[in-house]
Amino acid sequence: MNLELSVTEAMSTPVATVTLDTTAYDVANILKDKGIGCLVVLNDAGKPVSIITERDLALGVASRNLKSKEVIVEEIASPKLIAIAPKSTIMDAARKMDLENVKRLPVIDGDELLGIVTVSDITKLSPELFNIMVETNEIHNSEYPYSGTEEIEGICEICGSTDSVNYINGRYICKNCTEDSEGEDE
């Protein structure tokens, strides 16, 4: 297990971006068309200042019954950019994600956006690190354990794929394996 790999070895490039005046409607279409879950937000000078996720759209537009063509990114994006430096390791990224309760970290050198690293990127490079993250999360959440009702990024304990998984009967299982096991029960 190589936890000293640089985040630059794990990050995805190029990073999809939007500006502060982009509409929520356009953000939703970009996310859908690119099949991604977030966009980095740039100010007028091209400096990364925030991130906008599918969750931001849901909470900022849909849950308030607003019109997506009338809401701009500046009104609903995360107020604080949580990023990581390129010299950081994937272990540093995992710790920061856990501490800040985020799944994605833009990799920024000064004002330059180099890439983005996600939980999924890290688990593909170091499945063992995912297990450490799960154990740490279980310790932190022992008072309020994960219910398994929402998907998280992880490794399926049945087929080994790195995908969205649910915690079912004490194991992390992907959607395909969940459907397969339900079919066997019938």
Report residue 126 as tokens: 């170091």
Report residue 147 as tokens: 């219910």
In terms of average pLDDT, the best of 23-32, 54-63, 146-155, 169-178 is 23-32
Name, in order, each residue with C-beta under 8 angstroms of 178's C-beta and a sequence gap of 6 or more: 166, 168
* 38 annotated binding-site participant: no
Average pLDDT over residues 36-56: 94
Looking up tokens 């690190």 gives: 129
pLDDT of residue 145: 46
Name the more confident of 129 and 12: 12
Q: What is the pLDDT of residues 19-35, one digit of tens each?
A: 999 999 999 999 999 99
Name, in order, each residue with C-beta under 8 angstroms of 181's C-beta and a sequence gap of 6 or more: 158, 173
* 156 annotated binding-site participant: yes
Q: Is the pTM of this model over 0.85?
A: no
Distance of CA 99 to the CA centre of its chain: 14
- Domains, in order of start, for the chain: 7-124 (3.10.580.10), 146-185 (no CATH)
For residue 14, is the peptide bond before it cis, meaning its omega torsion is within 30 degrees of 0?
yes
Amino acid at residue number 89: T
pLDDT of residue 120: 84
* CB neighbour class for 169 (10 Å; exposed up to 12, middle 13-18, buried from 19): exposed
